[in-house]
Amino acid sequence: MIRRPPLNIKCAEAQALRKAPIEPAKAEATRLDLGAIRARADAAENGPWFYNGYSAIVSKPLSDVHMRMERELDERLLAEGGREAVDDDFDKFPDTCVASVRIRGGDTATVQGSLDATFVAHAREDIPALLDEVERLRSELEKATGYIETLAAPLGTRQR
């Protein structure tokens, strides 16, 4: 938060306000390690992700590959006389599930599990977007602080 002196404040008071330290413990506690957060986001499975309506958060790119491979398998099996697919046929298919949530029976998520799944699915795109916004705002704050320091510097050299 930028401290703004009242318009009728004297130059010496303005400089004192500008130089007043922010409590370091509070500043450090709220400082996010954006690099570490970005690294975790970059290491996660590619997105977008979606909640499948049951108990899984699914990677859309992996799901697309899985569906394409399934269509190709169906076509191959049909060309081979229409035999049924067996487990071995699916060995090279990618696992599309990124995460799963609590279930109440079978593969149906609990109400809270559905809410959690929606949150997690959106986090894949929300977290990078939030990181970009924090970096943009930090850059703007740095520019604004520079402007304030440039404008406030002459206040210290004025004679009373």
The string of pLDDT tens digits covering residues 55-97 is 999 999 999 999 999 999 999 999 988 888 888 888 889 999 9
CB 55 within 8 A of CB 108: yes
| Domain ranges (residues) in the chain | 11-15+27-157
pTM: 0.66
> For residues 5 and 113, which has the higher predicted lDDT (pLDDT)?
113
CB 62 within 8 A of CB 97: no
**Axis-axis angle for helices 111-157, 11-19 (nearest 10):** 140
